[in-house]
Chain A
Amino acid sequence: MSGTELAVETLTLTAGARHLVRDVSLIARPGEVIGLVGPNGSGKSSLLRAVYRVLRPDTGQVRVDGADAWSLPVRRLARTMAAVVQEPGTGIDLTVREVVAMGRTPHKRLLDGDTAEDARLIDTALAAVDAADLAGRSFDRLSGGERQRVLIARALAQQPALLVLDEPTNHLDIRHQLEVLGMLRRLPATVLVALHDLNLAAYYCDRLYALHNGEVIASGPPAEVLTPRLLAEVYGVTAEVAVHPRTGAPQVTFLPGEPAGATPAGPDQPRS
């Protein structure tokens, strides 16, 4: 028992007349780490926001363990699913420990106090993102990378069976990027994660979904999704993909210059 199943079924999201996400279906089986890749504005964040119940779908469904996520009580869903969102919190004087402790809220009734078990889970969560030494610091005074790690710890303290993360490696230095993604892999949970770095996505995810203009344009194991043709079509870049001899994962190398057949997106010329 490691994680719960997430199924997104023919989901469509609109903002006014514009489609943010169109007819997207996606499945994450228990324990899988599923990567969401695609350029800016491709609909990754919108799709995730529909999954963690902030953006209501126009049509389609989000199912968590078979149940419609949008008709579950918010609190019950929060006991199964946690999310790391891209939203700055307000700066009102909380310590890092207090911020992580928030993750325990869905498991608490109104007047419950904090137990030793809560304290242990908070410690574990902080240690998992290498932030144990930040516990007593003021959250407002952390650097961007430290803050990001604390927010991941808060989601871990929620003990989710399904974890949704929007660009969790943002602001992180390379060591912490690797540590965080490695930690997600070891987690006894299903993980859906939007990532910018294709090589990290290729190495750490079981399967990828590539989004383009709000639609799934390719899905499957990283080696099947990350092809030069797809990268040219979706990102408008020239790239070579090789299997890395040590990791065995596809390794994307970007090359300067317009891809063959692609129309230039702007006046920027690649510098040598």
Chain B
Amino acid sequence: MTGTVRDAAATDPGQRGGSGEEGARRASFAVVLAVLGILLLVSATAGMAIGSVHVPPGEVWGIVTHALGADWSEPVRSRARETIVLKVRAPRVALGAVTGAGLAVVGTAMQALVRNPLAEPYLLGVSSGASLGAVVVIVFGVSLFGSVSLSAAAFAGALATLLLVYTTARAGGRITSSRLVLSGVAVASVLTAVMDLLLLTTNRGNQAQEVLAWTLGGLGGVQWATLWLPGAALLLGTAVLVVQARSLNLLLAGEEAATTMGLDVARFRTRMFVLLSLVTGVLVAAAGPIGFVGLILPHIVRLFVGGDHRRVLPTAALAGAVFLVWADIAARTVAAPMEIPVGVLTALCGGPFFLWLMRRDARRDAVRGVG
């Protein structure tokens, strides 16, 4: 009797429907990547075209391709606009794309590692830890903006904070959303207070003002010479995480189940925490703490490509890049000629998204009957 049921299931259209659904997903993965790739090109072009001095997209392309060594474009543009595009806007767009991609990738991995959908470098205080590390370096004058030691200090601050918040939230076994976010918020408040104290009592006058502006998160004033470090951190972080995507997937099954499927959970998590702190630290040192990118993008991306990290990570990277490039365009233009810190804009989008996510998870838990 069961035999007939099983035979029926084997030839049932239900099974074909199943693989068909997955096939559709896989097709949509390629499509999603292609669409995002094109979108990123469009966004980058827009980012270099839009501003107080408008440069037509065609001319942007001419300038960029010429700078890249192509000779076929007509040199009809002005010197000034070339400088604006190449020296001011292009590095800014590049930093935006790198930061957005990096934060989205870090957020994706962090959500799997602490097994909580609300995890994100900003909400868990990791960005604040990185900021404090950087500020300590600045205030005590060890070095200057954009240098490697700044990033190293930010990395150290990020790692210390992540470990502190994680162990606090984990005390007593299972990590609940409330404990995780509350310990993140509490740690972040203390770190921010210490940072403000340092900045207000330092006698470096103008520099303190500059740093305060930086703590709101912004992409302005970046130069090509300092971009290699965030770029390298992004590439390294994404590459390692994509290679480890299967292990990240295992964590979705739960820690015990992951162990029985061959993952040394504690060791893996520690290594990944170091990696995520490194990427976060470098990005914060370059662009300031920009919140919610790591929260919003992974969740939106999962709606399109599902939860498998082999698909989520690359998609989230591209989507994060597109998102932050546009957020920065908005930051430059919404209140022109004044510039809004891009971190303020992402918080404006991210806060409501966070609340929606929290309500959704509460409803899910209620349906499932877990606390």
- Per-residue 0/1 for A94-108: is the Cβ within 8 Å of any B Cβ (1 yes, 0 no)? 111111001101101
The answer, yes or no, to whether A136 is at the interface (CB within 8 Å) is: yes
Whether A78 contacts B261 by the Cβ 8 Å rule is yes
The size bracket of the interface on A is 35 or more
- Per-residue 0/1 for A240-261: is the Cβ within 8 Å of any B Cβ (1 yes, 0 no)? 0000000000000000000000
* Cα A57 to Cα B206 with chains together (Å): 60
Whether A94 contacts B252 by the Cβ 8 Å rule is yes
Whether A110 contacts B253 by the Cβ 8 Å rule is no
Q: Which of B243-301 contact A (CB under 8 A)?
A: 243-244, 246-247, 249-250, 252-257, 259-264
Whether B262 contacts A92 by the Cβ 8 Å rule is no
* Interface SS, B side: helix
The answer, yes or no, to whether A52 is at the interface (CB within 8 Å) is: yes
Q: Which of B15-23, B42-50, B70-78 participates in binding chain A? A: B15-23
Which residue from chain A places its CB closest to the CB of B23 in the assembled complex?
A136
Rounded to whole Å, the gap between the CB of A150 and the closest CB of chain B is: 11
The answer, yes or no, to whether B307 is at the interface (CB within 8 Å) is: yes
Residues of B within 8 A of A266 (CB): none
- Specify which of A76, A82, A90 lies most central, judged by the most chain B CB atoms within 10 Å of its CB: A90
Whether A87 contacts B18 by the Cβ 8 Å rule is no
Whether B22 contacts A127 by the Cβ 8 Å rule is no
Q: Which of B216-265 contact A (CB under 8 A)?
A: 243-244, 246-247, 249-250, 252-257, 259-264
Q: A54-B256, A85-B254, A99-B253 are in contact. Are A92 and B14 (CB under 8 A)?
A: no
The answer, yes or no, to whether A93 is at the interface (CB within 8 Å) is: yes
Residue in B21, B253, B302 whose CB lies within 8 Å of A95:
B21
* Cα A59 to Cα B26 with chains together (Å): 49
Residues of A within 8 A of B117 (CB): 90, 92
The answer, yes or no, to whether A270 is at the interface (CB within 8 Å) is: no
Q: A82-B260, A91-B364, A99-B253 are in contact. Are A136 and B19 (CB under 8 A)?
A: yes
The answer, yes or no, to whether A68 is at the interface (CB within 8 Å) is: no
Rounded to whole Å, the gap between the CB of B250 and the closest CB of chain A is: 6
Chain B contact residue count (CB 8 A cutoff):
46
Whether B261 contacts A103 by the Cβ 8 Å rule is yes
Q: A89-B254, A98-B307, A127-B9 are in contact. Are A135 and B249 (CB under 8 A)?
A: no
Whether A90 contacts B254 by the Cβ 8 Å rule is yes
* Cα A54 to Cα B249 with chains together (Å): 19
Whether A158 contacts B261 by the Cβ 8 Å rule is yes
Whether A79 contacts B262 by the Cβ 8 Å rule is yes
Residue in B254, B261, B306, B368 whose CB lies within 8 Å of A87:
B254
Rounded to whole Å, the gap between the CB of B321 and the closest CB of chain A is: 22
- Specify which of A76, A82, A89 lies most central, judged by the most chain B CB atoms within 10 Å of its CB: A89
Whether A74 contacts B253 by the Cβ 8 Å rule is no
Whether A85 contacts B261 by the Cβ 8 Å rule is no
Residues of B within 8 A of A106 (CB): 261-262
Rounded to whole Å, the gap between the CB of B123 and the closest CB of chain A is: 17
Residues of A within 8 A of B19 (CB): 97, 135-136
* Cα A94 to Cα B308 with chains together (Å): 7
- Per-residue 0/1 for A38-75: is the Cβ within 8 Å of any B Cβ (1 yes, 0 no)? 00000000000100111000000000000000000111
Whether B18 contacts A94 by the Cβ 8 Å rule is no
- Per-residue 0/1 for B2-27: is the Cβ within 8 Å of any A Cβ (1 yes, 0 no)? 10011001101011011111100100
Q: A108-B246, A130-B2 are in contact. Are A95 and B260 (CB under 8 A)?
A: no
The answer, yes or no, to whether B89 is at the interface (CB within 8 Å) is: no
Which residue from chain A places its CB closest to the CB of B365 in the assembled complex?
A91
* Cα A96 to Cα B22 with chains together (Å): 10
Rounded to whole Å, the gap between the CB of A249 and the closest CB of chain B is: 20
Beyond the given A82-B260, A88-B368, A98-B306, please list 18 additional residue pairs across the A-B interface where CB-CB is below 8 A: A49-B256, A54-B256, A77-B262, A88-B254, A90-B115, A91-B368, A93-B306, A95-B21, A97-B19, A98-B249, A105-B250, A105-B262, A127-B9, A135-B15, A135-B22, A151-B257, A164-B260, A179-B2
The 8 residue pairs across chains A and B that have the minimum distance between CB atoms: A136-B18, A78-B262, A135-B18, A133-B14, A106-B262, A136-B21, A93-B307, A75-B262
23 contacts between A and B (CB under 8 A): A74-B264, A76-B262, A81-B260, A83-B256, A85-B254, A87-B254, A88-B370, A90-B115, A93-B303, A94-B249, A98-B22, A102-B253, A110-B243, A130-B6, A133-B9, A133-B15, A136-B17, A136-B18, A136-B22, A151-B257, A154-B253, A164-B260, A175-B2
A binding-site residues for B, Cβ under 8 Å:
49, 52-54, 73-79, 81-83, 85, 87-99, 102-103, 105-106, 108, 110-111, 127, 130, 132-137, 140, 151, 154-155, 158, 164, 175, 179
